[in-house]
Structure 1
Amino acid sequence: MATGDDNKTISTLLIFAALDSEALPIIQHFKLTPDNASLAPAVYTSSHNSPLCNLFELPPYYSIEFPISVPWIRYHGYYKDLSINLIYPGKDRDLGINSVGTVPASLVTYASIQALKPDLFINAGTAGGFKVKGACIFDVFLVSDLAFHDRRIPIPGPDKYGLGRRKSFSTPNLVKELNLKVCKLSTGDSLDMSPQDEICILANDATVVDMEGAALAYVSSLMRVPAIFIKAVSNFVDGGKSIPEEFAENLQATVVALGEVVANVVEFIDGKCLSEL
């Protein structure tokens, strides 16, 4: 996605993680702090009191005052010349579990992009992988192409909208420097895989599957923000184990691997413009 600002040095990153467990290693590595703004509807204020802001002569961070009814979470901080914002949807207020899936991911990302106007958006998360496509547990991929597998609209024209095929922002230098594996991603709102979903996933030529990527690609495209997607394999979708059990078993080690790659990616991005990625 070309934005017209490809030669401007990247200064503001927005990172989305679906789960608090995915967010934690990134928060810890960059020593991000929670946004403690009082929650009020649709008001955005800036703070000029950050000592890091004064130290590095960076723009002040913005305190996003999300609508009072939402559980969305934001952490923020500075690393070298970068302002880093990490968001995740938080826990469902009625059920007390992580708000996973395309809808909460899209909503919090839209609101955050609108408020923060980042130079680059990063989706960092776990994913299921296909053995048959060469994925291994704890592999970390940079995604090149994204599509949905559960928005089936069998009408010529709308069928393409349902698939929602998009490409991530091209980063050949990043891939080469960090020796990253590259793959295609398919997104759906279910953790299991029905026979019909499997047919669509295979048609998407996906190596990994998740529950938010293609939706976030839509939001970033809509808002004209370049986006990259980093996915770590926590479980197989074509293996012999139960998907929920394998996901739970491997989650802790997977998010550590994910966090390490995200840290390396941010290190590479620092001081560069989009055209250098």
Structure 2
Amino acid sequence: MKNIAVIMAMDSEAAPLLNKLEINHKIAGKIDEHLPMKVYKTKYHGHNISIVTSGECKRNKVQNVGTAPAVISTLTAIKDFKADFIINAGTAGGFKKRGADIGKVYTVDTTVFHDRRIPIPGYQEYGTYRSEHKIATDYAKALNIETAIISTGDSLDMSPEDEKLIESNLALLKDMEAAAIAWVTDQYSIPTLFLKSVTDIVDGEHPTEEEFFANLKLASENLGEKLIELIEKI
């Protein structure tokens, strides 16, 4: 039996998984009285499952996406929920030139940052913080999906500088959480698996923000199916 924590940014991304596990969306607990993150706990397939979402920003009334909430959620899962296996599940943009398709689900074998540019010896590598996740290969085979390199940054759009770094790392996916979560779990040497479903084609013809919302439900449903399958194989 493992204590598995599923770290997710948006409530809409988590909804299909909660439905499949027959968890009432309205019975979420809070990780801290001062923080917006929500947690749902259950048992499934012999494991203790904690599903942590980033909740809503109290100031702007939108979902807490990005690296800062992801770090807090992950650290809390490890320290308070005793998680010994982390799954970061969510949506991502994908690059058509590397084979990405809307709704396609990937595991991630490499995480890297593209918006932490620190051109000082030693700090440059720290900024990009490339991490390899070898367990992705075995689980990709078990789930019959592909592995990918994912690049993380806190902006939805892509500046020319971001694009250069993303290209230099041959990233297939682009998101706002994965590499930050990898940094946390690296400190604790905890096995971490990333499961990402494509909502938008970064190098496509449609604006990212429009495509994201148009495909969020499909991508989240596909993600939920693979999440259940994954937990059953752990």
Is TM-score (shorter-chain normalized) higher than 0.5? Answer: yes
Q: 2:103 aligns with which of 113, 125, 138?
A: 138
Structure 1 residue corresponding to 2:54, chosen from 71, 81, 89? 89
Matches within 5 A, 1:13-162: 13-32=4-23, 34-36=27-29, 66-162=31-127
Q: Is the 8 A contact 2:107 2:136 kept in 1?
A: no
Deviations 1:172-207 (A, max 9, x none): 432222211111000000000111110010111100
Which has more radius of gyration?
1
Between the aligned partners of 1:215 and 1:243, the Cα distance in structure 2 is 22
2:135 match: secondary structure: coil
1:206 and 2:171 correspond = yes
Residue by residue over 1:114-169, the C-alpha shift from the partner in whole angstroms, topping out at 9 and shown as x without a partner, is: 01121210000000000011111111000000000000011121100000110124
| Amino acid paired to 2:5 | L
Task: Report the 3-state secondary structure (helix = DSSP H, G, I; strand = E; otherwise coil) of the residue aligned with 2:205.
Answer: coil
Q: Deviations over 1:84-121 (max 9, x none)?
A: 11001100011110011001110121112101121210
**Deviations along 1:224-252, whole A, 9 cap, x unmatched?**
21100000000011011110001011111
Match of 2:148 in 1: 183
Aligned residues of 1:175 and 1:181 also touching (Cα < 8 A): yes
CA distance in 1, matches of 2:32, 2:99: 43
CA–CA separation in structure 2 for the residues paired with 1:13 and 1:169: 18
TM-score normalised by L of structure 1? 0.81
The alpha-carbon deviation at position 35 of structure 1 amounts to: 4.3
Which amino acid counterpart does residue 166 of structure 2 have in structure 1? I
Matched, 1:244 2:172: no
- Provide the residue aligned with 2:186 in structure 1: 221
Structure 2 residue matching 1:116: 3-state secondary structure: coil
Residue 39 of structure 1 aligns with which residue?
Answer: none
Residue 166 of structure 1 aligns with an amino acid whose one-letter code is S
Structure 2: distance between partners of 1:130 and 1:150 = 18
Unaligned runs of 5+ in 1: 1-9, 37-64, 270-277
Closer, same or farther in 2 for the Cα pair 1:32/1:119, shift >3 Å? farther
- What's the Cα RMSD here? 1.3
